Structures are given as C-alpha cells and as structure tokens.
Structure 1
Amino acid sequence: MTMSNEARPGFAFGRPPAPDWSDFFGALAEHTDYQARLDALLELTARATKLPVVALYLADSPESRPHLVRLRFPKPARATSAGAETGSRVPFLGGSLGRWRRETLDAETFDVDEAFYSDSVVSVSSGVPLDLPRDERYTTSSIVATPVGALYSVPLHRRGEQIGVVQVGPVSEQPGRRLRKAMESIASPLAHAVALAREQSRLQEQLAEYETRADVSRQMLRSAFELDEFLHLLLELAVKASGTQAGFIALADTSGAIRLHTAVDLPDGLLDGVDLTPGAGFLEWLDEAERALYVADFARAAELGIQVILAVPLADEERVLGVLGLMNLEGGRPPAEHSLNLLAIFAEQIQLVLGNVRLFEAFNRQFVDTIHALARALDARYPYSEGHHRRVTDWAMTIGHELGLSEGQLEALWVAGMGHDVGMCGIVEVEHGFQADFHHPTIGASMFDVLPNGQAASEIVATHHEWFDGWGFPAGLKGEEIPVGGRILALAEYIVESTTADSIQTAMPPSKLFEEIEIRRGRQFDPAVVDAWRAAFERQRRASALGTPFRPCHTFKGEPEAACTTCPARTVDAPCWTIPDVRCIYHGDPDCRGCFVYLEAVERATDAGTDVPAPAPRGVEEV
C-alpha cells in the first residue's frame, strides 16, 4: 500500500510543525507541577513521532540504572459485541497494541486526542519494564522488544552525560527515516527540558523539606515552652504512677508566695486560700537543707478531707520555685510504697522544665530587647522620627485598653509596637521608599517569628500596613482577616505620623486629623478601632484644663532622652510652649506653633471661647 503526500504525516498542508526548543521549554513555563511538566513533554514527543506510546526513563546518577518515571499509554478501547474496533481507536489485546506493518499507517489510524493513562499501574499492567539494565543497547538508538511491541529507544544526553532514555512506538522492525529524523531533532531539547524540570522539582522538594523542618522545629519549641500543658501532663503521670487520687503543682508568684498553679482530680476550691509556701504554716520544713517537707497543720488538712499528702519542694540553687504534692482524700487507699521515690523523680523533671523556662524567658527578653534597640536606632536617623516606635506603641496600648484586650493581647501589642518598623533595617536601600515600605512588614515579622512565643507579635507586625477594605500590603488582607493588633497598629502609626512636625510641614491639628481619619474609616481603618481611639483621646482632652497641654510634652514626645530629661518643661509649672528654653528642636519641632501639643490646646481653647498664651521665643542649648 502506498500513500500520497496528502496522507503522509508531516507533508499535508495545515498540519502543525514539529516541536522545537521553544515548544519544549514553553511546556515547562505552562506548568509548575513536575508530573504535569513531564506529561506535557511526552505529549510533544508523541506529536513529533506520531506514535502513541512514549516511555521516559531517567537515571538518578551516571552509575545508576534508568528507571521509568513517566509513561504515555493509550487508554484501552471498548470493543463492539462482535469484537470490532470502535472508531479509529487502537485495539488493546492482552497488554499489546498489536503489530502494525508500517509506522506511517499505524500513526494515521491512532486517535491522538483520546485520554491516556500515565501512572505506574498501567506501566505494570502493560508490561513496560520499570527500569533498564546498564548495557550498550541503551547508549545508542535502537529497536527494543517489549510486551507492547517494538519500541524505538533513544538515549538522552545533557552536557556530555547520558541522563536517561526515551522510547516511542510501536514501530516496525526498523525505524523509518521520518521517525529517526524526528527523534534526532527533539532528543536534545527533550533532554534539556526533562533535566531542568527534574532539577527544579528537586529544589522545590528541598525547599518544602526545609520549610517543613523549620515549621516543625518552631512548633516543637513553642510546645516545649507551653508551661501549663507540660506541667499538667507531668502531674497526670505522677498521679497515675503513684496510685494516688489527686495531685497539685503550686508555683511562686512575683511576691514569692507559693500558690496553686495546676491540679489533677482535685475538688474545686479545695486549696483556695491555702498558703502552700514552705514555712507559712500548712507545710513546714522537716530539713530545709535536705529539702524535706511535712504537713504541720493537721487540723486544716483534716478539715479539707486530706487523708494523706506527699509534698516535695521544687527548688533551684537560689530559691524555692514551688511545691509538688500528691494526695489521697477521705476513703482513699494508702499510696504505694514507691510513691516518695516517684515524687522525687517527677519533682526533678518539673524543676528541669522550670529552669529551662527561666533560661528561655531570659533569652526571649534579650532577643526582644535587641529588636527594640534596632528599632530605636532606626528612629534616631532624623530628629523628627525620634521616639517613633514608643509613641506608636503608646497610642496602640491606649486603643487596646479601650477595646478591652486581654493581658496576653496587650503584651503582644506592646512587643510588636516597639519594633513594628524594624524590618527597615533588613533593607539596604532604606531611602528607596516603595521598596522599604512594601517589604519591611514581612522582614520585621520574620524577626519575631523565630521566637517560640513570638507568633502573635509577628502577625501584628506583618499586618500593620494592611487596609480594612483589603487594599493594603503586603498580603491584601481585609476586615477580620487582619489581627486586631495589626488593625490597632495601623491607626496608631497614622496618628503619630500625622501629629509629628518636621522641617517641611507642621503637625496636623486635631480637627484635620479627625477629618482625615473619618475619610479613611472603613477603608484604611477598622471603624471599631477608630471609635476606641476617638473615645480615649476625647477623654484625655476633657480631663485637661484650658490653656494647658492635653498631655505633658515630655510624655507625648519624650525622645531623645538626653534632651527631654533636662528639658525645663518637666519642672516648670507652665505650658511648655511658654518656656523659652524647651528642648523640642531635638525631636524635630523647630517651632512650637507647628507642634501638635500646642495646636490641640489652641483648638480646645477656641472651642471654649478662650485663648492660650502665645509661644515664647526659642532658646536652644547644646545637649
């Protein structure tokens, strides 16, 4: 049988051209998943050869056997009741595609648009080998016999080394000229594209592994210092191992008194009001040097229904940290003989945990102090930015208290506020505003995120430039997606920047500040946060006498410390702007008429129909 040029693949008008380098690398650009990339490359290979089966083998190293990584294989066609083929699909008989006399005819009769299987189950069922031996047959182009028929095997080389083998088919006993030419033209771009896809996949896997390890390490470190959970777990184990009915751990508070911290199976309120400090009456030292305790108040113990109590102090070399106690209540059986030994073992573990927590807390404080010191150094670049972080934090804490945040939320807000712009230190070209602005929240957050208990502060720092309507940066979060601390810090920073004078412009007076914040209400700022700030600020204003600052100047600015601590406004009983020798120039206020403290007093007096004393001429001394 002969074929006209119109029937021959590659000669008919309108047929797509054979794939080239741009097609193979374009396939990589269209996909990010490694398997999807390989599927696209095999599809291009099938298109170039007009053959349905494409098997890709890759070697992990020059010394290893090439193994099957991806297989393009036709889906078995459904046969009619008479066993005839449906349409132009290829019959699937016992794992074989059958023998075709001529590859050109075979390619023409195969519907390349049908669905394909490409997973390992098909590779096994089809009989395609899962790996290839390292011998000469696969180092050059040749025909190899497989259960799916004869395949044309072509080695893939990159940078002078063989990285794998690609096999296409089924073919006749000898490959035709067109097939050899097609494989010669695509072997090199295919090899380079496959190698690049594999290298990028390995890098992605390594990155994912590193990120997972880092996340696991952070979570483990965080969980390791969740003191309450860890102590409760140890106490449960102690109660169970000793055979006692209940147990407690009491820890020293800031005053040194030892009070109940956590308990297991202890009746509610049983030890409320009991001072568990050794030597305070209920527990006394049997031998303080040996750290041995006994119950001294038998009457109180009987009143509480305690039948047996075993207690040991938790102490380091310097002081008593707490008490570990196991007890049986009325009706309980005596504790096991080994309970005292177990108690000592668990006490040792708890002391170790408490000691580690103290070390960790010291490290945590030092690390946070370092971040805050970097932030203060950033503030010192210009006179008008002195004290920026402290002033933002002051307003943030005022708003946080107004909103009724918890003690933990307020602590995280303070830690974040005092270092919210520290990410600027991680940008070399800090003067290039857009670059610094866009990236500094993420960089700053990463500095806090390394701390086991720094996640809350990290989230606040990362989101303090997000807008309530979603038009902020860097993540475009909106509404409740932004942590409340981030929403608070956003407004607090805007207030500080708007009420700070510099050599170019004066501070924004209160009326203008109210107007600008109302414009941004619900867009840039959370309305609830705006209301909280407005309520607190107006309360401060109402509490101030007319003609006086709503806040003392040295508390409103307070930086640099060397100037403000020697400023006469701290000691003279008069409005700060009436004192000639005020030191405000050192924190960027060249003239009191542009200072927010003065402008606020003027507006408040004007609203009341009175005047304020005029600013005195400035006199400046060296610090």
Structure 2
Amino acid sequence: MESMNDANIVKAIASGESSDSERILGLLFSYMPKIAAERKMDNLLVLMADLGRLLVQADRCSLWLIDSEKNELWTKVAHGVSELRIPLNAGFVGYAAKTGEALLIDDAYKDDRFDRRSDEKTHYRTTSVMAVPLMNGAGQVIGVYQAINKQGETPVFSRQDLERLALTAVYSAKTIESARLTAELEASKVELEATQEELIHILGDVSESRSRETGDHIQRVAEISYKLALYYGLSEEEAERIRLAAPMHDLGKVSIPDAILNKPGRFTDDEFAIMKSHAINGEMVLMKSKRDLLRFAATLAGSHHERWDGKGYPRGLRGEEIPLAGRICAVADVLDALSSPRCYKPAWPEEKVREEFIRQRGGQFQPELIDVLVEHWDDVFGCFRKARAEMEAAQAAAAAAQAADQNRAG
C-alpha cells in the first residue's frame, strides 16, 4: 500500500478509491506519530480532533476537556485560535461528561439534551452527533470526544463510527493524561515509550476489531510471548520489546476481506492465498516507520507464520533463519488460537492442546521453545484456565436463573 499523507487520505475518502480498512490504517499511521511527538496540550487537542473528524468522516470534530475549577468544558478548535469554553452541563458534550455515557444521535433537534444556542450564534445546522467520554486511568471522565454531521452518502453516524471514535478516545485519554503528568513529553523518556506502546496497542486493536475473535487475543499473545521469551533465557529488556511488538503480529489482516477473514469453514486455495498475504502486508506497512519498535514489529509480523521445518509462509524460512521473536510469537499465537473459541471452531480441551504442541516439536515449532512451554505449562496456560472457569461459572449462573424463572412461572 502506498504511503498516504493527509491530502491523499482526504482524496481517497472523497473518491472512494481506497478501501475502508486502508483508509483507517492510513489515517492512523499519518496521525499517531504526530500525536506521539507533540508536546503542547493545545496542539494535541487539534491533532486528535482532526484525526477523529477524518476517522468517522464528520464535518466537525472536537475534543473537550473538563476544567473542574471553572466548572466548564474547553477545547481548541484550530491552531492559532483561542480556546472555546461552554458550561459543564451544556448540550450533548455536557451530558456525556456528566453521565459517562456515549451518545449516537441521528437528529439533534429531536433530542431535548441538545443546546441550540451554538447553532443560533453561528447559523450552523447540527443534525447527526456522536459524543464519547474520555476516561483517565482511574475511570474518571476527563473530557468528551464530539463529532458532528456525518459526511458522504449516509447522513447519520453508524454504530461502527461510534466504536471507532471510542477506540480513538481511549488512546487520546491516555495521551492527554501522560501529557498532563509530564507537562513536557520530550522531557520524559518513559512517557514517550508509553505513548509508543499505546500506539502499538491501538493499531493492534484495529486489526483485531475486523474479526470476530475476542479483543483479548492480542493481549494474551503479547503476555504469552513475554513469558516464553523470559523462560527461553532472554533478558528482561529483550522480552519486554517482544511484548510491546507482539500486538502488531496480525496488523496485515486489515487488508483481508471480511468474507475470508470470518469464514466459518475451510478456505479454498485462492482464499488461503489471500489470507496468507496478511503476513507480508503487515510487515511492509510497519517497515515504513522510522521508529525502531515499529520496525521490530514489522519483522515479527512477517515471520510469525514461518515454520521450523520450512513449510510456513510467506518466505518458507527454516530453523534459525526465522527471527527469534517470530518463532516465539508463533507459539503464543497458535496456543491462543487452539485454546480459545473461534468463528470456525470451539476451544480445544487443554490436554489436546498440550499434545498438539508436543507433536509439532521440531515440525512447526522450534524444539527448545516447546520444551520451555511444556516445562512451564501451568503458568503459561493459566490465563485460559481462568477464562474457562469464569465462562463456566457465568453459564451455570444463567442456567440457574433460567431454572428459577421457570419454577416461578410454573
């Protein structure tokens, strides 16, 4: 995929030449580095507002922050323009700030929460609106993301638009919180690295959101990769680097059509060829970055489907030709795939999963990594046991509640 600057992104949105997934990916890679490098709060708000506007194709978008001392919400609408302030309880933004609820409004004038004074002053006509609260690490509302008037053929925002704005709000809230704590981001190496980590996870979440797999998949793969790296003998620094990069392993899936990505049955040869392309696509996109962490993630994305015996893809690498991070992520990725339910299969029983890895020792996977996995099986597999116990408890509670309702009805 060719690199996309802001002008190309806007052109692609207007002309429809770019697929939606490519458009989103282009936006993220265009704006996230700018946001990560920005030091001033005013400029951060403008950048995030611009990203949100293009992401959901809104006419206007703004990121409001709460000023508790003045009991107001404030925002920057453009570089070089003084800030805009409104009462804390005003309109949809105030409602979202007060309740912590996201709003998806098709017609503002049919909703009693709409504050018409702004339209009356500016002679602007507000129709469709989204408002998403920004939460800090303590779960407190610190601001609100607002998008106004959907552009394009459909005049109202969709549920997917709301999900995308909410996903961006998570990253924005954490970035704002970091900026507030440090005052000057460049003065704190720790905060810069934390921002890069958030960039990694937000892009990973985008790739996972297109499939029906649980959003916890990337986090589990990251944590399992981290544990395997430590048990294998890598340093804490090396293991942490793999943990940070692992969420990007399936980034290339954004280029795979939904019909193939979520197909419940077996792939045809042509479908499998398309599916396999996600490894090289993810590598190519990430390799364009100048950031060391993203370039390291590129190597991982392009190698986690290689096999120790040389029968993997995309390059058919064999043994130690495969980067170590890719070998480690391959074990973690398959472990999660077998141990978790997917659209095409239920979760495998624990013992069957363990037997499969032992069977593939020296075939699909490096022998020493399987030895490490088996030796520390209880620790590594513990997250799946916990998830299964919680699911069984929830199912038992639901069954008990249903039985009780039936008894009362009888």
Q: Do they superpose with TM above 0.5?
A: no
User: Which is greater in Rg?
Assistant: 1
Q: Which has the higher strand share?
A: 1
Bigger relative contact order, structure 1 or 2, given CA contacts below 8 A and separation 6+? 2
